[in-house]
Structure 1
Amino acid sequence: MGGCEVRGAHSIFLIKNMNFFILNTLCTSRINFVVREAWQNYFFNSKALLMGELLALHVCMYLLCF
């Protein structure tokens, strides 16, 4: 009888660990997604800002030269 109880407790322990693993994986994936999305937004906004600055510089140079 003692063996069954130990196996049952072991199964519950494994199920709890599996649930924790799944939850941890989902949270990690969500965090990675949020970080990746934030980085992409930062990168594209920086690139757009840089292109805008280059365009403004080009216009100023054009106006100064002519």
Structure 2
Amino acid sequence: MADLLTYEQAMAKLGIENKGTFRNLVSSGVLKPARVKIPGMRPMMREDVLDELINEFTLHPLEA
């Protein structure tokens, strides 16, 4: 199984300090593919999918 990160670990990996900004990225769908819901646990992020999203954004940044 893929390594799972807490939201705090995922924020650190992405260099995001504001929890609201991170939650907006998840709820808007940008980071939603990496989110994992496990019953009885807080939502987690799959590290491998997060890495893919980082690489995709690095190769194709959003237009300002």
Instruction: Name the structure where strand makes up a greater proportion of residues.
Output: 2
Q: For CA contacts below 8 A with separation 6 or more, give which structure has more relative contact order.
A: 2
TM-score normalised by length of structure 1: 0.27
Where is the helix percentage greater, Structure 1 or Structure 2? 1
Calculate the TM-score normalised by the size of structure 2: 0.28
Larger radius of gyration: 1
